[in-house]
């Protein structure tokens, strides 16, 4: 039976909201100030009326020492925003105009 999915997203943003206890050896995005950034992101998405952009809070994305982290699909672009201005730039450039913010892209190496 087909699923009745009411909406597909042009971009889907996953934001790490992992919170580990203080002093945990891996750290966590929440301990590095992620929550205010994700609140800003949500506010900007709503304020711009970006109904075709989904946002989901996640657990650990696996690169704890680099946090706070977010990844934008379908492109699979990882960002490490540090300020509210970084969030504003990601929203305007990537989520509105489909142009990734190169200076904020986190390059993953193997």
pLDDT of the residue at 27: 80
Domains of the chain: 13-104 (3.40.30.10)
Q: pLDDT below 50 — which residues of the chain?
A: none
Q: Is 43 helix (H, G, I), strand (E, B) or coil?
A: helix
Taken in order 19, 22, 27, 29, the sign of the CA dihedral is positive
pLDDT of the residue at 3: 66
pLDDT of the residue at 63: 82
- pLDDT tens digits, 78-108: 999 999 999 999 999 999 999 999 999 988 6
pLDDT of the residue at 89: 98
pTM score, whole prediction: 0.87
């Amino acid at each position: 039976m087909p699923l009745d999915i009411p909406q597909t997203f042009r971009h889907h943003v996953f934001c790490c909201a992992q919170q580990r206890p203080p002093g945990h050896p891996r750290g966590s995005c929440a301990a590095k100030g992620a929550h205010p950034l994700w609140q800003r992101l949500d506010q900007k998405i709503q304020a711009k009326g970006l109904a075709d952009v989904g946002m989901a809070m996640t657990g650990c994305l696996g690169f704890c020492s680099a946090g706070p982290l977010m990844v934008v699909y379908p492109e699979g672009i990882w960002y490490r925003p540090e300020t509210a201005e970084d969030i504003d730039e990601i929203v305007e450039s990537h989520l509105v105009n489909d142009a990734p913010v190169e200076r904020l892209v986190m390059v993953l190496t193997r």
